[in-house]
Every structure is written in C-alpha cells, then in structure tokens.
A and B are shown apart, each in its own frame.
Chain A
Amino acid sequence: MQREQSANVATDLREGGVGCFDLLIEQYGDRLYWHLRRIVVQHEEAEDLLQDTFVRAYLLREQFRGDTESSLKAWLYKIATSLALKALQRRKRNIFASIDSVRGDLIATYEHESDPSADETLVRLQRAILALPTKQRLVFNMRYYDELPFEQISEITGDSVSTLKTNYHYATKRIKEQITTIEL
C-alpha cells in the first residue's frame, strides 16, 4: 500500500490525520522495525519502540518542515533512533557509564534472539556489529542494511558527513578484523 505522493509532504502529514499515519506505518513499518531491532536486539523492545516512534511522529507532526519523501523518511528514522538510544541508556548498569557499556548485554541478548537456522556467517557478522561502539554501529547499520546515503544519515544522527564516513570506515575495518582473526 503506497501513500500517494503529494506536492507538499508536510501538509499531507498535518492534514492527513490517523488515516495518513496508517499508510505511513505500512510504508515504513518494516524498515523501522528492523532498524530498531538492530539497535536494541530484543523483539519486544523493538515492537514497543516502533509504536512509540509513530505516536511521537503523530504528536510532533506539526513540527515537520520537510517537503520530500526523503526528508520524511529521515525524520521518522531520527525519531526512531533517538528513542532507541534512550532505551539503551536505560539499560546502563550505572548512570555514569557510557552507552557503549551495554554492548556486553546486547551480545548476550543476541545469543537468545538469534535465529538458530540462520547462516553462521550472518550470525557472526551480527555479533561483530554488536561489538562496535554505538556511533559506528548506527552508521554501519544504516549504510549497509538500510542503504541510506551519508547525507540522509547525517540528517538522522546530526553528525557531519565526514564524521559518518570516518565512523563507517572504522566500523568496516573492525568487523573485518573480528571475523577474520585466524590466519592459516
């Protein structure tokens, strides 16, 4: 089900009401679910965050100023990412700890959440990704899985394109190092 392209996406969003959001959820729900799941790992949490994302988008619809589908997509991703990062912050064992301290928990959670019938290569890749620092993991996921351009990721995270490219470079380097640690 595709939402009709409108000359003014912002107006569409404000005036479309709940019906418009039904279409948005159909259009972006799957992508956003997986984006959230890749951050928080657990299905139940991703499901809750998906709800929260669209509710927040509904409540903040008056503030959306974009005029393209691309900016709408970036806006939704931005809301989702912000909520997911707050969820990770709540998982920290200590209020003084950095968000990266939850990596161990995420990897442990992944052991229960991984698909037992999945390709071992993909499972190892996920573990390697979950071991990355949060900023690198975010940009890697959005670039590799969501295939978003750096400019759009920049709108989502607030980081500059050059910072994102650097983080992406380090992320891929770490992942390669982690999954090729044996030399024959």
Chain B
Amino acid sequence: MMKQMPYRIEEGAIERAKYRAKMAVREAANPTPAPTHRHYALRWVFSTLTIAATLALALFFYIDSQKMDFEAFVAEMHQAPLDVVNDMTADVIYYAEEENQL
C-alpha cells in the first residue's frame, strides 16, 4: 500500500500517463522517419538559445557591476511605489522603538 502523497492529481491521471508511456514505447519500437525540417528548426532553436544565453550572461555582468549598498537601497525604497514598500514590512517587529510611547 503506497503512502499517501499530498499532491494534486486528477482522477485517472496516472492511468493516462501509463497509456502515453505504452504509446511512446510503441513509437520507439516502430519509429516514423523524422522530417528534415525538424533539423533546421533545431539548428534555429540552438542558435537562438546561444544568442540568448550570451545576452543573459552580458546582462548578468552588467547588473553585477552596479554597486548597491544599504543606504543606496533605502534611497531606492523611498522612490518605490507604496504597495511594493508595504510588502517589505512583512516581518517588522511591531513593537518598534517609535511605537513604545505610552
């Protein structure tokens, strides 16, 4: 008896997954010839991914080069929209010094 797993699962989902696996094995046993256009598409995808990866790396180094200490960050907070700043108050200890007034 399998232990209960707290994951969402539609009724019949595993049966469908097993059915797809059986179909996939049949396809592997009797492969249909791959269309040549797939190779061109793969080449295009690979080139795009390489360019995207290079740009992402460049962006990463650019962001990395921007210095940001705590005071600069607080200055940014003062410019930020209030709803964004409000999110950042989540774990403030409510009895802060300024609240300790009788």
- The answer to whether any beta carbons of A and B sit under 8 Å apart in the complex is yes
Q: Which of B1-27 contact A (CB under 8 A)?
A: 2-9, 13-14, 16-18, 20-22, 24-27
Asked, given contacts A50-B18, A115-B7, A115-B9, whether A55 binds B24 with beta carbons under 8 Å apart, the answer is yes
Q: Which of A5-57 contact B (CB under 8 A)?
A: 17-18, 21-22, 25-26, 29-31, 33-34, 37-38, 41, 43, 46-47, 50-55
Answer yes or no: A145 CB below 8 A from chain B CBs. Answer: yes
Partner of B13, one of A43, A55, A123: A43
Please, which residues of chain B bring their CB within 8 A of the CB of A50? 17-18, 20-21
A55 contacts B5, C-beta separation under 8 Å: no
Q: Which of A95-121 contact B (CB under 8 A)?
A: 113-116, 118-119
Q: What is the distance, in angstroms, from A168's C-beta to the closest C-beta of chain B?
A: 16
A51 contacts B24, C-beta separation under 8 Å: yes
Number of CB contacts from chain A to chain B under 8 A: 90
B3 contacts A51, C-beta separation under 8 Å: no
Please, which residues of chain A bring their CB within 8 A of the CB of B92? none
Asked, given contacts A34-B2, A51-B21, whether A114 binds B28 with beta carbons under 8 Å apart, the answer is no
Cα A114 to Cα B8 in complex, Å, equals 5
Asked, given contacts A54-B24, A54-B25, A59-B28, whether A26 binds B18 with beta carbons under 8 Å apart, the answer is yes
Closest to B18 in A: A29
* B61-99 near A? 1/0 per residue, CB < 8 Å: 000000000000000000000000000000000000000
B29 contacts A18, C-beta separation under 8 Å: yes
B4 contacts A122, C-beta separation under 8 Å: yes
**Consensus secondary structure, chain A interface:** helix
B6 contacts A126, C-beta separation under 8 Å: yes
Q: What is the distance, in angstroms, from A121's C-beta to the closest C-beta of chain B?
A: 9
Please, which residues of chain A bring their CB within 8 A of the CB of B9? 43, 115
B13 contacts A118, C-beta separation under 8 Å: no
Please, which residues of chain A bring their CB within 8 A of the CB of B6? 114-115, 118-119, 122-123, 125-126
Q: What is the distance, in angstroms, from A3's C-beta to the closest C-beta of chain B?
A: 14
Cα A10 to Cα B6 in complex, Å, equals 36
- Residues on A lying within 8 angstroms of B by beta carbon are 17-18, 21-22, 25-26, 29-31, 33-34, 37-38, 41, 43, 46-47, 50-55, 58-59, 94, 113-116, 118-119, 122-123, 125-126, 144-145
Given A18-B25, A113-B7, A115-B9, 12 extra CB contacts under 8 A: A29-B18, A37-B5, A43-B7, A50-B18, A52-B24, A53-B21, A55-B21, A119-B6, A126-B5, A144-B3, A145-B3, A145-B5
